[in-house]
Amino acid sequence: MEAKGKILIVDDNEDVLFALNLLLEPYVEKVKVTTQPSRIEHFMKTFEPDVILLDMNFRRDAISGQEGFDCLEQILKLDPQAVVLFMTAYADTEKAVRAIKAGAIDFIPKPWEKEKMLATLSSAVKLRRSRCEVKQLKERVEALSGQDDELPEMIGQSEAMQGVFRTIRKLSETDANILILGENGTGKDLVARSLRFFSPRREKSFVTIDLGSIPETLFESELFGYEKGAFTDARKSKAGRMEVASGGTLFLDEIGNLSLPMQSKLLTAIEKRQISRLGSTSVIPIDVRFICATNANIRQIVDDGSFRQDLLYRINTIEIHIPPLRERGEDVLLLADYFLQRFCHKYKKQINGLNREAKQKLMRYHWPGNVRELQHAIERAVIMSESSMLKADCFMLQPQAEKKSPLGEIFNLEELERKAIERAMKHCAGNQSQAAELLGITRYALYRKIEKWGL
């Protein structure tokens, strides 16, 4: 008998219990015995057996096996993954078929044959471990996926964001690998979750891994998993993220941080659609859709030799560029209102909105941290505010310098626009109609820009 394990034996005959205990003790980790079916629940909670050997009849002269079926039902309610072997001196084909249908994995007649008993128990222990591993993998997927059954809430009316939404809709029926590009804080993870939500793999697992937060020494074990004993601390086997994601979607965030040796291994896995755990020579087939993201200039690091061009071709069947917040116009105010409602609810505050000066301050700010920075700014303002409206002084934003060339010239388009409006208004002594004509825009457009810049 190869597999060790913990065995619980339930039988009304003490001689049977003694004989089985004597037989199995050299081959298993531990054995517990009881003559009382009412003690099964206690042993399942305290002993946690891998296999339960269960007699079918507990009353003298009983031969129907109903008592065993009642116990089996109780066991499977306590643990649907339980592995139960029936034992009886009154074996027949009808009972065997019924036992298997009821959830038992095998049927052992009395008296038993030693070798067959040991072989059956060894297979049962392996089955138990396999069931436990599957359960752990499912729990791992659920933990990694979070609330991925819900459509991520993405907000934006700007043309730049509408283009992103159109691309996501076009990809709704495809399995293509996607590369998402954008600065930190622009919402690349939300785009990835939206792509998965609208994909044919929506009901399958969605596994994420932030390659920017994992030490290089752990990349391989996280991606591909490892076998027990593969390295010093590998006390048990563990499935990697790619194995767990098989059948579903794997989101590799900050893929630009992947080292060249790991890029090579990832490329091989994508091309061959198979992986090997650390410490194993056997291959595991995978079926994974890859969504990758990076804030790096991916083509620049390809030119620099830090990223493989052939891997880039594999992961960017389609590219999606997420615009920075500073290029999204009044999406800033839409997002501010959204975060305001969320944090008012979270902190149980009654704040009715942002006043005009606050809105102008948010619109003028460059938002180097993008949506994430705006979210934190709104949360901080809600926490600190003591009034019914958020004011400009509620926002402690970082001072921003004008972007100039080495010769001192300003090239930032928004800053150039603001200065042009200031000069036109000064030249026309505040007359908006004349200033609009001078600028080549309508009076209404000028009014909107004056409101935007707080001029």
What architecture is the 327-394 domain classified under in CATH?
A: Orthogonal Bundle (1.10)
What is the pLDDT of the chain when averaged over all its residues?
86
Continuous H helices in 320-355? 331-347
The pLDDT assigned to 92 comes to 66
| 97 CB neighbour count, 10 Å cutoff | 11
Highest mean pLDDT: which range of 206-210, 236-240, 417-421: 206-210
**pLDDT above 90 (res 31):** yes
Residues 265-274 have a mean pLDDT of 93
The DSSP bridge pattern shows strands 206-210 and 249-253 to be parallel
Block residue for tokens 């109903």? 66
**pLDDT above 80 (res 433):** yes
What percentage of the chain reaches a pLDDT higher than 70? 88
159-321: same fold as 6-139?
Answer: yes
**pLDDT above 70 (res 454):** no
Angle at 258 between CA 256 and CA 259, to 5 degrees: 125
φ and ψ at 359, to 5 degrees?
-60, -45
The pLDDT assigned to 267 comes to 94
The pLDDT assigned to 205 comes to 86
Alpha carbon distance 6, 47 (integer Å): 8
The pLDDT assigned to 58 comes to 72
Q: ω into residue 111 within 30 of 0, thus cis? A: yes
Residues 67-92 have a mean pLDDT of 85
**pLDDT above 60 (res 406):** no
Which pair of structure tokens corresponds to residue 427?
């030249």
Angle at 412 between CA 409 and CA 415, to 5 degrees: 95
The DSSP bridge pattern shows strands 51-55 and 84-88 to be parallel
Q: How does residue 134 score in pLDDT terms, banded at 50, 70 and 90? A: confident
The DSSP bridge pattern shows strands 284-285 and 274-275 to be antiparallel
Query: In Å, what is the CA distance from 453 to each residue of 318, 323, 392, 421, 449?
Result: 37, 21, 13, 9, 6
On the 0-12 / 13-18 / 19+ scale of CB atoms within 10 A, 18 is exposed
**pLDDT above 50 (res 402):** no
Alpha carbon distance 7, 21 (integer Å): 9
**pLDDT above 60 (res 148):** no
What percentage of the chain reaches a pLDDT higher than 90? 45
**pLDDT above 70 (res 62):** no
pLDDT in tens, 320-355: 999 999 999 999 999 999 999 999 999 999 999 999
**pLDDT above 50 (res 125):** yes
Superfamily of domain 6-139, CATH level 4: Response regulator (3.40.50.2300)
The pLDDT assigned to 179 comes to 97
Q: Are the C-beta atoms of residues 315 and 350 closer than 8 Å to each other?
A: no
Residues 247-261 have a mean pLDDT of 92
**pLDDT above 80 (res 89):** no
- For the chain, the structural domain boundaries read 6-139, 159-321, 327-394, 413-453
**pLDDT above 60 (res 212):** yes
Top-level class of domain 413-453: mainly alpha
pLDDT in tens, 299-313: 999 998 999 999 999
State whether residue 348 is helix, strand or coil: coil
As separate numbers, helices (DSSP H) first and strands (DSSP E) second, the chain gives 18, 14
**pLDDT above 80 (res 109):** yes
Domain 159-321 has CATH 3.30.980.20: no
pLDDT in tens, 165-187: 999 999 988 899 999 999 999 99
